[in-house]
Amino acid sequence: MTLYERITAARRQLTEAGISSATASIDADVLARHVLGWDRAQLVTRAREPPPEGFPEQYQRLIDRRSRREPVAFLTGSREFWGLDFMVSPDTLVPRPETELIVEEAMRALPAGRSTLLDVGTGSGCLAVSLALERPSATVVATDISYPALRVAAANARRHGVGDRVHFVRTDLASGLRLQADVIVSNPPYVAERDAPAMLPDVVNYEPATALFGGPDGMAVMDRLLATVTPLLAPGGALIVEFGCGQEDAVRGAAAREGWQVRRIVADLQGIARTAVLETTRG
């Protein structure tokens, strides 16, 4: 059996497990390249060759796990974000493309020179590390309530050469911090608990619930965030947060109650309102 035939069989198995044909095709190729250590060009040019020794067994184990809907990022241990390779684990969310909107908005808001950035609920550290690389003069503080997540984030900071500029703190949101940040970013838990039964098993069965769910309506953590970070934002600074599909009105209402003004709402590539850029109206 050639590599091509092995991968074709894997695609068929994933499709039979309920994964869409398009996703199954991508996943089967990604996992094959992960086991082989090849890039896409190598796989294409050598697809008609017999698989190397040990490949069928290693590959089948991963395909079986993916058939049980374990995320590909957890099988490979990494996910691309902002053009960078980030280590991930079941202790962190898998970084998603729409979260790159926060990076774009933060770069627009951060001063070009020396500045301070606070990332609340850093998870894998994808926001903190990406922005530290984009702003070499910035000092970055990143928090998370999870020790295991912070270990992953710190490893990602070292991996990308910014371990000396990203300072990790274990705390609930930003409790106990004493700083003045030019920009605060956060991708808080915002999924409504009532939506869990409709979610993909890849997400709800594997990614950490504490990083996914924001209470019955998804706004519990967002409400606390908006209520607590005002003293940590420097005058003229911006708070940039991600929120869920259909939550724009709820975010606007919560912001108004806590003394925040919406500078703008940014939609993702699907046209879904996804990111809010806020400024405080309190002194």
| pLDDT at res. 281 | 83
CA distance 28 to 23: 8
State pTM to two decimals.
0.95
SS (H, E, C) the chain: CCHHHHHHHHHHHHHHCCCCHHHHHHHHHHHHHHHHCCCHHHHHHCCCCCCCCCHHHHHHHHHHHHHCCCCHHHHHCEEEECCEEEECCCCCCCCCHHHHHHHHHHHHHCCCCCEEEEEECCCCCHHHHHHHHHCCCEEEEEEECCHHHHHHHHHHHHHCCCCCCEEEEECCCCCCCCCCEEEEEECCCCECHHHHHHCCHHHHCCCCHHHHECCCCCCHHHHHHHHHCHHHEEEEEEEEEECCCCCHHHHHHHHHHCCEEEEEEEECCCCCEEEEEEEECCC
* Length of the chain counted residue by residue: 283
Among all chains, which residue has been given the structure tokens 């390779």? 85
| pLDDT at res. 283 | 60
Going from N- to C-terminal start, the domains of the chain cover 3-68, 78-280
CA distance 99 to 186: 10
Integer angstrom CA distances of residue 224 from 92, 115, 220, 228? 21, 25, 6, 6
CATH homologous superfamily for 78-280? Vaccinia Virus protein VP39 (3.40.50.150)
246, amino acid identity: G
- pLDDT tens for the chain, 283 residues long, are 899 999 999 999 999 999 999 999 999 999 999 999 999 999 999 999 999 999 999 999 999 999 999 999 999 999 999 999 999 999 999 999 999 999 999 999 998 889 999 999 999 999 999 999 999 999 999 999 999 999 999 999 999 999 999 999 999 999 999 999 999 999 999 999 999 999 999 999 999 999 999 999 999 999 999 999 999 999 999 999 999 999 999 999 999 999 999 999 999 999 999 999 999 986 6
| pLDDT at res. 128 | 98
